Copies of this chain bind each other. A is one copy, B any other.
Amino acid sequence: MKLAKLFALVALCIVSLTLSALAADPLSSWNDGKAKQAIVEFVAKVSKKGSPDYVPPTERIATFDNDGTLWAEQPMYFQAFFVFERIKALAPQHPEWKEKEPFASVLKGDVKAALAGGEHALLEMAMATHACMTTEEFYMIVTDWIATAKHPKTKRVYTEMVYQPMIELLAYLRANGFKTFIVSGGGIEFMRPQTEKVYGIPPEQVIGSSIKTKFEMRDGKPVLVRLPELDFVEDKAGKPVGINAHIGRLDKALDEAQAKDWTVVDMKNECKRIFAWE
């Protein structure tokens, strides 16, 4: 009897220890490999007071690309689906598009032909779907689309195409005093309506490509109008420029990148599951 009780107690302890260990792992989608270990060690050493690598909380900045880093980018950038679907939605107001490239190809469902026009065609499609409206109107259009549009392969909304291991990493960094940013080639006002809900990243911590805007009064109401003119492309050599413009803390990152070996993470190898619904 006594022994049985003891066994029961030991069993209970083991179960509860296992449960709390499971609950306690903030990176549970990650395999217990080198990458996970490097992340945990890095966070420990920069957040431990007195450590030679200590970084005060106000200087703990973590930046993330979006497409292919925080959410999927296959079979093409999700913002490209937005462009093509918006062209189809707007076609009734643009009868001339039936004859005019690259729009005619999009309406025929031939994406490849639409993209054959290169950068110029791309820009024309982007402006036709992103500009000549107020920021508030664009916000509503993006919000509607993101709530309803479905990924062609998985048939899930795009906000379910976010990588679960990265969601865990973002939360883990924030729990350790980091401020998390997105720095992406994607449209800044295309990303901002969703990033807070999906990633826990507020609009002011999202940096992306932008078009110019202009302050105007419309019917006595102050608005910002989106102009069909590129402002900034947050890609390649534009990335450090944008990080400096928005965050103003670039120098240390550049020094670090040069001085230290960085851990390159391939999610396929490092993670147990990629999407939350898997």
Interface residues of A (CB under 8 A from B): 58, 61, 135-136, 139, 179, 181, 188-189, 192, 196, 202-206, 210, 213-215, 221-224, 231, 237-238, 240-241, 244-251, 254, 257-258
Contact = CB atoms under 8 A, between A and B. Distances in A.
A239 to B, nearest CB: 8
A185 to B, nearest CB: 15
Contacts of A224: 240-241, 244, 250
A238 B212 CA distance: 11
Contacts of A249: 203-204
Given A215-B240, A241-B215, A192 B135 contact: no
Copies in the complex: 2
Describe A's contact surface by its main secondary structure: helix
A227 to B, nearest CB: 10
A221 B258 contact: yes
A122 to B, nearest CB: 22
Contacts of A139: 251
A61 B205 CA distance: 13
A222 B243 CA distance: 14
A204 B222 contact: no
